[in-house]
Amino acid sequence: MEDGTQNDATMRIEVAYADPERTALKVYSLEAPATVADALALAACDPCFAGIDLTRSTLGIFGRVVSRDRALAHGDRVEINRPLMADPKLVRRSRAASGL
């Protein structure tokens, strides 16, 4: 809506992705009720998210891992997470063992 008001039937959410080469952050309007999967369907059609594996990526809302069937609320930010390059626990152990 142009004037900033919010209809009870629609919600504004963000979808975000970041890697070392680029970031993508888009705002979408969805009809309530909507799920993370609904937000991903919009992102899949957006050229900003081209080349991102939306089917196997882990997802979060404000840093907490969520499933694709989780209901969204107005203002949620769906985060598309990259796969880890290394297990953080193993990296910490290796760093501790080397005295760093």
- Which residue range forms the structural domain that includes residue 82? 10-97
Instruction: Give domain status of residue 3, yes or no.
Output: no
Instruction: Say if residues 13 and 27 touch (Cβ distance below 8 Å).
Output: yes
Instruction: Give domain status of residue 2, yes or no.
Output: no
Task: Please tell me the predicted confidence (pLDDT) of residue 96.
Answer: 81
pTM comes to: 0.73
Instruction: Give domain status of residue 1, yes or no.
Output: no
Instruction: Give domain status of residue 78, yes or no.
Output: yes
Task: Please tell me the predicted confidence (pLDDT) of residue 14.
Answer: 95
Instruction: Give domain status of residue 4, yes or no.
Output: no
Instruction: Give domain status of residue 89, yes or no.
Output: yes
Q: Quick: pLDDT tens for 40-67.
A: 999 999 998 988 888 888 999 998 999 9
Task: Please tell me the predicted confidence (pLDDT) of residue 80.
Answer: 94
Instruction: Say if residues 13 and 75 touch (Cβ distance below 8 Å).
Output: yes
Q: Say which CATH number the domain at 82 has.
A: 3.10.20.30
Task: Please tell me the predicted confidence (pLDDT) of residue 6.
Answer: 52
Higher per-residue confidence, 90 vs 27: 27
DSSP 10: E
DSSP 17-45: EE-SS-EEEEEEEEESS-BHHHHHHHHHT
Q: Give mean pLDDT, residues 88-99.
A: 78
> Tokens in use for 1?
């809506």
Tokens 């992705």: give the residue.
17
Instruction: Give domain status of residue 18, yes or no.
Output: yes
Instruction: Give domain status of residue 5, yes or no.
Output: no
Total number of domains constituting the chain: 1
* Cβ-count burial 68-91 (b if 16+ within 10 Å, e if not): eebebeeebbbbbeeeeeeeeeee
